[in-house]
A and B are shown apart, each in its own frame.
Chain A
Amino acid sequence: MSDPREVTTESRPVRIALITAAVAVLLLFLLLPLFAVFAEALRRGWEVFMASLTEEAALSAIKLTLLAAAVSVPLNTLFGLSAAWLVTRFRFKGRALLISLIDLPFAVSPVIAGLVWVMIFGSKGWLPPATLEHLLAPFATVASAAAESENFGGLFEGLAAWLKDPKFIFSTPGIIIATVFITFPFVARELIPLMEAQGADQEEAAVTLGAGGWRIFWRVTLPNIKWGLLYGVLLCNARAMGEFGAVSVVSGHIRGKTNTLPLHIEVLYNEYQFSAAFACATLLALLALVTLGLKSVLERISGHAAAGKH
């Protein structure tokens, strides 16, 4: 590429000008902000940095963020696999519509994605907490009974308490639902083109060789899409942890209770606690760096695998 005799290259001054411009943009827009986050976070020393990360509200925000990701990533992995399998292995009426619907969360603004849930579950919504409490009352009774059982009642205590006072808006379930909605398409989007390109040949071969559906999935389908799947899960996770807009609408910003990490950072920032805000931001920045690192590793591995595919 650096060979100046390549036919598609420009003259030396043009090349220098273009490269300088590209490097300048890269530094200014990508590396400088990243550097600023770390510099600002550590400006008042390591102790302040660590204290900001270990105070109660920060820990609670980290916990909530991890919880939202822990629920939405597995759910959307399962959903993405099923959806990709359905639309790439079967032709049916409404298939094109389904593919568009999968993309819906990408297409709408996250604020709208949040407002939808407020509209449904808010106190003036279609299913306000009072109605929900009424609807869920039978389940609440069952769950309370289960919670009182000796052996593993502890497992049901939280559920029973929530069913007695079911709230989505300004509470953890609302945040989880909003996150699930927002991160819906990541895995499916990654798998659909991959599975479409691979075709059903290998699965059909497995069928003629006598393999059942479950075995075909584990031994033929999954090994063929594993890198794409991991990639989708990675992106899904990054978004689940970083989502701001939709979560912001349903959260209500109750400090130490319904703040995720991005929301917590915003609160701190609005309170002029810059060092604390940036300290928390480093966590998200690190998440981004790790995601990027893993992504390039995955791309290299799957690139090798694809090169051998023919």
Chain B
Amino acid sequence: MSISIHSISKTFGTYKALDDVSLEVPNGSLTALLGPSGSGKTTLLRIVAGLEFADDGPGKILFHGENVVSVPAGKRGVGFVFQHYALFRHMSVADNIAFGLTVLPRSKRPPKNEIRDRVHELLGLVKLDGLDKRRPHELSGGQRQRVALARALAIRPKVLLLDEPFGALDAKVRKDLRRWLRAFHDEIGLTTLFVTHDQEEALELADQVVVMRNSRIEQVGSPQEIYDRPRSPFVYEFLGNVNKLTSPDGAKRYVRPHEIEVVFAAEYDPVTDRIARIQHLFSAGPVATLSVRLDDGQFADVELSRKQLDDLGLSVGDEVAIRSRPEEV
């Protein structure tokens, strides 16, 4: 089920949280809303879910072409996973997952044994077999997250919305769960929209990345497009790992650390190169990072493989020539 968002605005008091935002989320895609805190990404997600109302006006939200703006949250067929999971802490895992089915009107409610079967099917799907009797507080963060996911999926939602799905997890679990969620999405093929402030997460996980800033959408595209062709200095910088350099002619240029080549100072080519001195050298791990000071006093980070570093035999204080084709923004 595709989601189309048409000129949605949202004002809290005098603060404009969303300013005329429009977005297409293709059917079956995994789309990331990426932005710093306060950019409006969570507000947009909550409006899609029906947990928040958009300002009156021409704004529309279409699920597969059908306007759902006046449909209450409970009837939108949306699965929502909260940042801190919001599990019902007085209920067992099984009761949590079954909740959405047990609150259906009597005429639509499946019989008890069907609910039980569905709960077990979902537990299997999220790889939590056998934990049905546990209480939320007896689970790890990653397990809770998957219970929240199973609970949201129990009602067979048309779209899945996740608010900072990995925000409350530690780095190791976060990485594992990220891969798992990607595979999971490919398996069930549900249109999914998730919010994150972590650019690495968005780029690795999503089919489509929506970069938000100051209540507006800054750029929409595939991770590749966003990374290779940032449309604004903000996107460039927000995706991280970028050197912002001023050329002798005064133009601002952005260049990523891995796009800079390091050669011996003796091979200096005045047309393409700058002379730089190595200030710091971090070489733990497969990629080494050099922090260099250019002849005009600017600093830049350079990434190169350990092998290159070893071949060059560089150390702190050495003078080198750096070579790049920095993009102008």
Which chain A residues have a beta carbon within 8 Å of chain B's beta carbons?
201-202, 204-212, 215, 219-220, 223-224, 305, 307-310
Contact = CB atoms under 8 A, between A and B. Distances in A.
Q: Give the interface size bracket for B toward A.
A: 20 to 34
A210 B90 contact: no
A308 B73 CA distance: 29
Given A209-B103, A209-B154, 7 more contacts: A202-B88, A204-B51, A206-B103, A211-B99, A219-B99, A308-B135, A309-B89
B104 interface: yes
B312 interface: no
B322 to A, nearest CB: 49
Interface of B: 49-51, 73-75, 78-80, 82, 84, 86-90, 99-100, 103-104, 135, 137-138, 148, 151-152, 154-155
Contacts of B84: 201
Nearest to A205: B86
Contacts, number: 72
19 contacts: A201-B82, A204-B51, A205-B80, A205-B82, A205-B151, A206-B103, A208-B50, A208-B78, A209-B152, A210-B75, A210-B103, A212-B74, A212-B103, A219-B99, A305-B89, A305-B90, A308-B89, A309-B89, A310-B137
Contact of B79 (A208, A223, A309, A310): A208
Given A202-B88, A223-B90, A309-B89, A211 B103 contact: yes
Given A309-B137, A310-B137, A206 B51 contact: no
Contact of B74 (A201, A210, A219, A305): A210
B137 A208 contact: no
Contacts of A215: 103
A214 to B, nearest CB: 10
Contacts of B103: 206, 209-212, 215, 219
A309 B138 CA distance: 10
A308 to B, nearest CB: 3
Prevailing SS type, chain A contact patch: helix
Given A204-B51, A308-B137, A310-B137, A210 B100 contact: yes
Contacts of B100: 209-211
Contacts of A207: 51, 73-74
Contact of A204 (B86, B89, B135, B137): B86
Given A308-B137, A310-B137, A209 B99 contact: yes
B259 to A, nearest CB: 43
A223 B89 CA distance: 9
B90 A208 contact: no
B89 A208 contact: no
Question: Which interface residue of A205, A208, A210, A223 has the most chain B CB atoms within 10 A?
Answer: A208
Contacts of A208: 49-51, 73-74, 78-80, 152
A205 B137 CA distance: 17
Contact of A206 (B89, B99, B138): B99
A80 B221 CA distance: 51
A307 B104 CA distance: 32
A224 B155 contact: no
B133 to A, nearest CB: 15
Given A201-B86, A202-B88, A220-B88, A209 B151 contact: yes
B86 A202 contact: yes
B104 A210 contact: yes
A223 B99 CA distance: 14
A224 B137 contact: no
